[in-house]
Amino acid sequence: MTGPRAPVPGARLGIDLAVRTLPTRAARDRYYAEFVAELYDLPPGAQLRHLAGLLSQAFALRAALGVSRPPIEEAAVAHHPSLRRRILCRGMRHHDWHLYSTEDGGRYLSCAVCHRDHNDRLGPGAHFGAFA
């Protein structure tokens, strides 16, 4: 009786490539160990076919695990506008105005680049766009 057949050389590298696309370190560690365990006791040809299947489905696994998106506040902080947008905003006073709402239902305009609030009144007669 022979012992378990170890993965062929290079199989662990292939599995490392397959799990590298996963979103979190915990998911990468878990699936790496699981995929290596699946290779044991397979003949070398079946190991390579299994590895090719893992590599071809790596992005599908990433989508199935789902990448949690940061909350809106964190996304706004993490957003880094391009140098061109920052120069236009701060240097040339060409702001990128966006309409936002407060918790009580009020509306206000704020620049998406420098976060400066617009000073004009936003009431029932306020218009936005080319016909303002």
The verdict on residue 99 lying in a domain is yes
How confident is the model at residue 112, as a pLDDT? 77
Average pLDDT over every residue of 107-119: 79
The verdict on residue 43 lying in a domain is yes
Enter the pTM of the model: 0.49
Q: pLDDT by residue (tens digit) across 48-94?
A: 999 999 999 998 888 888 765 544 444 445 556 677 777 777 776 77
The verdict on residue 24 lying in a domain is yes
Structure tokens at 121: 């009144």
- pLDDT band (50, 70, 90) for residue 132: very low
Cα 112 to Cα 89: distance, rounded to the nearest angstrom: 9
The alpha carbon dihedral of 95, 98, 103, 107 has a sign of: positive
Q: pLDDT by residue (tens digit) across 11-30?
A: 888 999 999 988 888 899 99
Domain of 78, in residue numbers: 72-111
